[in-house]
Structure formats: structure tokens, C-alpha cells
Amino acid sequence: MNAAITATHTGGIAEALARRLPAGRVVTDPDIVAGLSHDQAVWAPAGSPAAVVRARSTDEVRTVVRTCLEYGVPLVARGAGTGLSGGANAIEAGVVLTLDAMDRILEVDELERLAVVQPGVVNDDLRAHVATHGLWYPPDPASSQWSTIGGNVSTNAGGLCCVKYGVTRDYVLGLEVVTGTGEIVRLGRRTAKGVAGYDLMGLIVGAEGTLGVVTEVTVRLRPTPPIGVTVAGYFDSVVRAGDAVRATAAAALRPAALELVDRHCLRAVDAWKNMGLSAEADVVLLARFDDGGPAGDDGARRMLECFRAAGATWAERSETEAEAEMLFEARRLAFPALERLGPVLTEDVCVPIAAVPEMLARIDRTADKHRITIANIAHVGDGNLHPLLVTEPGDEEARTRARAAFDDIIADALELGGTVTGEHGVGLLKRTGLTQELSPAVLDMHRAVKRALDPAGILNPGKIFEA
């Protein structure tokens, strides 16, 4: 059996799992099964699983993996299903293993500044819990209200604070994993340093469940930062906003967050929540400095200078924390607001900061070329852009044009020295892009790792790359 396994001999897998697991673990309700068979990448294909299992312990996960091995059935692990690349989509007649019920925070160590959690813990719940200890978990994807730590590990999620604080991989100290051979292993360490052996833990982070099933995560924490200062700048084009971002990088400014929201997103949020932002701005840049005291004030002052020099039509510090939160809430609401308008195909490219203005210009040209609406939100401070391709419900011809635009955006990002995905993962939607980004020799290295850690090829086969 290889990594391209398909479930051709699945007879009895649901019954076998029901016999070997506690009552209620195997989900059979058709509506629930259908809802657990895909993530939020509505344009990615999904199969109908032979069984869905809601595990509650590492031992139960091991039982599921070993049963799938025995029956030669592919296994897809999932968290909350907030992914945007199809990485958690079911494989026809396979097994979906959902880990959302493994949602306990097992330990918080204030001295070592770490927490040990199960994979189903929701990102915001972890942040709220450790805040009571005066600690903070920085990775904050826009889906943090719903996405789970296990899912964040699977895609190496980033978020609004990643420009200063980094992404999920920077905060994972250790993992408990059930391997493709059904063994339970511990990877990583709790110490500040450690270079004993290869970085196997690093391979699992961002592997989208293709190399093992994560059943426990040890994460690094930081002290809670000051409230900070927020700066907003309004621009009359995404290119001018991109110029401002490049200017901030040239000035060596390092805000905790630097986000872009364009006119399409602002209008969609206003139509939904009536915030009134689209009447004032074509594009908004939001920057937050959490250094505290004079350092934060100085950063905000210099950021305003960069915004104004780049042609901002308006740029000021927020008067109150409530005003600042409203602006960032508009950023977080952009994607669900656009989803209300029609099917959204979400891009996730990352380019060098110097290339941000040109990449934003190319996205505008691509929208014109293919006659579709492309909205832009971005963790623009580190070059991670999220063009959102919006089509009318039921307009298949527009979907065809959107797919062509999707491919053009990937090609442009690569031409400018970028990557096809910054944080959403490859899943199903970016497999072709990955083969364009990586050389055949490097792809062979990836496949060799897959064969070594999942020799039977049962773990989320067909995702990231073909065998």
C-alpha cells in the first residue's frame, strides 16, 4: 500500500471500530457525518467516509489508527474544520477521526512558561485560560474563536501577531503523536534548548496530518504584553498601502501586528455590521505596537510618518482601546462577511516585503483580466496576502474564471520570490502550486519522509502532494 491509498477494501471498518471503541465514539448520523467530512474550503472536493470517530483519548486514537492499518483504510484527522485548503476533507469510504472532544488543558507551568493541552482545545480558550496566570499564547489566526490547537499545529497557523511574534511552530515545544504504524511517541522537549537527534517534531508541525496524529501539544507561553497603541491609515489604493508597508520595513519598525483590509472587505463588513468604515477609506492599514511606554509611542509616531509619506489620505492613533478593537474586529470579520455574498475561494500566498506593492498591483490586474471580484485582507507586515475570490452563487462560469485567477496569483507570487502558502497549508487546493515551487529532487525528499513515517500510506493520503 502506498501514499496514494484509496479505500477499496473497506468492508466492516465501521463495525470493527464500533466493537473496539467505547459506545458512542463512532458517529452514524448522516447529517453529522456530512458536516464532519470537509473543512471550510468550499471549492475543494470531499468524499463520503465509511465512518466518523470522535476520539476522547490517545489510546482510542491508537485503536483507530491500528484498525485502519488492519483494514487498509485511509484516515483523515480533523479539529474544528476551519481549514481553508481542503486538508481535512474526507476520502471516499475512509475514516474521519475528529479530535474536538479531546479538549482539556492538562497543565500550565508558570515558572517554565508552558502549557500542555489536548489537540481539541480552542485557541481562544487556551489564551483566556493562561491569561489568568499572567501568561499569553501569541499565535492568533483569524479563526481563533473556533480553531483548535491541533489544527493550528497541523497547518502551522499564523495570525495577526505573527509579524512580531512568529507562527505556531515557534511555540511548539513538544508533541505526543500516534504514528502511521500505530505507535505512540513523544517528540520535542520542555527545556529551553535541545538538539538531540533530528527535529522530528518540526516535521509534524505543518504536515497536515500526513505524518502522524497529534494527541497532545506542549506550547511555549509569554508574559502578557501591555495593551499597546494602535495606528490606522487610510489609502486610496492597495498599491499605495503596499508602499507604506515597504517603508515601515525599511524604517526597521516591528509592530505586533500590521494588517491590510481593502474596500471590498470594508463594504461587506459594513453591509453586515454597519461599522461605517467603507465610507471613509478605500484601503485600511492597521498597526499595533505593544512595547508599552515611550517605545510604543515612538513606534506609533514613526509608523504614522511612514503612512503619511506613502500617501495616506488619513492616518492617526486610535483615541481609545475600544476604537482600536473595533478596527481589528472589522479585520477579523472580513472573511465571514464576504462569505455572505457568495462562494469564496481563499488564496494564501506570501512574498518578500519589497514585493508587496507589486504583488497587490498584480492581484488587481488579475481581477480585471478574469472579470471577478478579488478582495484583499493580509498579514501584510510579513508579506502574507489573502486574496479572496468571490463569485455569485450558482455562477459556474465565474467559478471557472476564479480558478484561472487563483492559478495566476500563485504564478505571480512564485515569480516574485514568494511561496504558494504562508499558513493555510497545501491541502488539496495548492498541490499543483507546490510542484511549481519545489524542485523534483526536493519533492522526492518529501515523499521519502512520508514513506518512512507512514509506510502503509493511510494518513491523509493525496493531500499536499500525490505519491
CATH number of the domain that residue 373 is part of: 3.40.462.10
Please indicate, yes or no, whether residues 212 and 237 belong to a single structural domain of this protein: no
Residue labelled with grid coordinates 474563536: 145
pLDDT score at 278: 80
Cell numbers linked to 161:
501577531
Residue labelled with grid coordinates 505593544: 290
Please indicate, yes or no, whether residues 191 and 124 belong to a single structural domain of this protein: yes
Last residue of a domain, one of 223, 257, 276: 223
For strands 114-117 and 213-220, give the pairing: antiparallel
Mean pLDDT of 200-215: 98
What percent of the chain is helix, strand and coil (3-state, nearest 5)? 40, 20, 40
C-beta separation of 46 from 386 below 8 A:
no
C-beta separation of 350 from 387 below 8 A:
no
Please indicate, yes or no, whether residues 121 and 241 belong to a single structural domain of this protein: no
C-beta separation of 422 from 203 below 8 A:
no
Q: How many CB atoms lie within 10 A of CB 186?
A: 12
Choose between 312 and 280: higher pLDDT: 312
Please indicate, yes or no, whether residues 238 and 219 belong to a single structural domain of this protein: no
Mean pLDDT of 45-73: 97
Strands (E), 246-325: 257-262, 283-289, 314-317
Last residue of a domain, one of 376, 394, 415: 415
Last residue of a domain, one of 183, 201, 223: 223
pLDDT score at 30: 93
Please indicate, yes or no, whether residues 266 and 399 belong to a single structural domain of this protein: yes
Please indicate, yes or no, whether residues 240 and 217 belong to a single structural domain of this protein: no
- Single pTM value for the model: 0.93
Mean pLDDT of 218-239: 94
Please indicate, yes or no, whether residues 160 and 308 belong to a single structural domain of this protein: no
pLDDT score at 2: 39
Query: Which neighbouring-strand residues pair with 238?
Result: none
How much of the chain exceeds pLDDT 90, in percent? Answer: 87
Mean pLDDT of 24-50: 95
Element (H, E) at 454: none
Compute the distance between CA of residue 24 and CA of residue 18 in angstroms, rounded to an integer. Answer: 8
pLDDT digits over 345-397, tens only? 999 999 999 999 999 999 999 999 999 999 999 999 999 999 999 998 999 99
> What's the whole-number average pLDDT of the chain?
94
Compute the distance between CA of residue 273 and CA of residue 259 in angstroms, rounded to an integer. Answer: 20
Mean pLDDT of 446-467: 93
Report the domain count for the chain.
2
- Please report, for the domain that includes residue 180, its CATH number: 3.30.465.10
Using pLDDT thresholds of 50, 70 and 90, give the confidence band for residue 467. Answer: low
Q: Is residue 91 part of a domain?
A: no
Using pLDDT thresholds of 50, 70 and 90, give the confidence band for residue 96. Answer: very high
Q: Is residue 322 part of a domain?
A: yes
Q: Is residue 81 part of a domain?
A: no
Compute the distance between CA of residue 151 and CA of residue 121 in angstroms, rounded to an integer. Answer: 10
Half-sphere exposure of 383 (CA within 13 A, CB side): 22
pLDDT score at 292: 80
Please indicate, yes or no, whether residues 308 and 203 belong to a single structural domain of this protein: no
Mean pLDDT of 264-272: 93
| Domain with 188 in it | 105-223
Which class for 442: exposed (0-12), middle (13-18), buried (19 or more C-beta within 10 A)? Answer: exposed
Q: Is residue 435 part of a domain?
A: no
pLDDT digits over 108-146, tens only? 999 999 999 999 999 999 999 999 999 999 999 989 999
Dihedrals φ, ψ of 83, to 5°? -60, 160
Mean pLDDT of 401-428: 97
Compute the distance between CA of residue 280 and CA of residue 163 in angstroms, rounded to an integer. Answer: 26
For strands 222-223 and 229-235, give the pairing: unpaired
pLDDT score at 3: 36
Please indicate, yes or no, whether residues 211 and 246 belong to a single structural domain of this protein: no
pLDDT score at 283: 94
Q: Tell me how far CA of residue 346 lies from CA of 330, 335, 339, in angstroms.
A: 18, 9, 10
Please indicate, yes or no, whether residues 296 and 207 belong to a single structural domain of this protein: no
Q: Is 62 helix (H, G, I), strand (E, B) or coil?
A: helix
Query: Which neighbouring-strand residues pair with 389?
Result: 345, 374
Using pLDDT thresholds of 50, 70 and 90, give the confidence band for residue 11. Answer: low
Please indicate, yes or no, whether residues 195 and 211 belong to a single structural domain of this protein: yes
Dihedral angle over CA of 117, 123, 124, 125, nearest 10: -20
Q: Tell me how far CA of residue 15 lies from CA of 51, 69, 73, in angstroms.
A: 9, 15, 13
Distance of CA 296 to the CA centre of its chain: 28
Q: Is 292 helix (H, G, I), strand (E, B) or coil?
A: coil
Q: How many CB atoms lie within 10 A of CB 369?
A: 13
Range of lowest pLDDT (63-67, 99-103, 289-293, 434-438):
289-293
Residue labelled with grid coordinates 461605517: 276
pLDDT digits over 158-172, tens only? 989 999 999 999 999
Mean pLDDT of 182-210: 96
Element (H, E) at 257: strand 257-262
First to last CA, the chain: 11
pLDDT score at 372: 95
Compute the distance between CA of residue 314 and CA of residue 38 in angstroms, rounded to an integer. Answer: 42
C-beta separation of 334 from 265 below 8 A:
yes
pLDDT score at 426: 97
Under 8 Å CB-to-CB from 363, ≥6 apart: which residues? 238, 374, 376, 385, 387, 409, 412
Query: Which neighbouring-strand residues pair with 172?
Result: 219
287: left (phi over 0), alpha (psi -120 to 50) or beta: beta
Q: Is residue 283 part of a domain?
A: yes
Q: Is residue 67 part of a domain?
A: no
Q: Is residue 465 part of a domain?
A: no
pLDDT digits over 164-193, tens only? 999 999 999 999 999 999 999 999 999 989
| Nearest to 65, CA basis, from 191, 279, 215 | 215
Please indicate, yes or no, whether residues 171 and 235 belong to a single structural domain of this protein: no
Compute the distance between CA of residue 321 and CA of residue 318 in angstroms, rounded to an integer. Answer: 7
Query: Angle formed by the axes of helices 263-273 and 321-339, to 10°?
Result: 100
pLDDT digits over 294-322, tens only? 999 999 999 999 999 999 999 999 878 88
Query: Which neighbouring-strand residues pair with 188?
Result: 174
**What's the alpha-carbon Rg for the chain, to the nearest Å?**
22
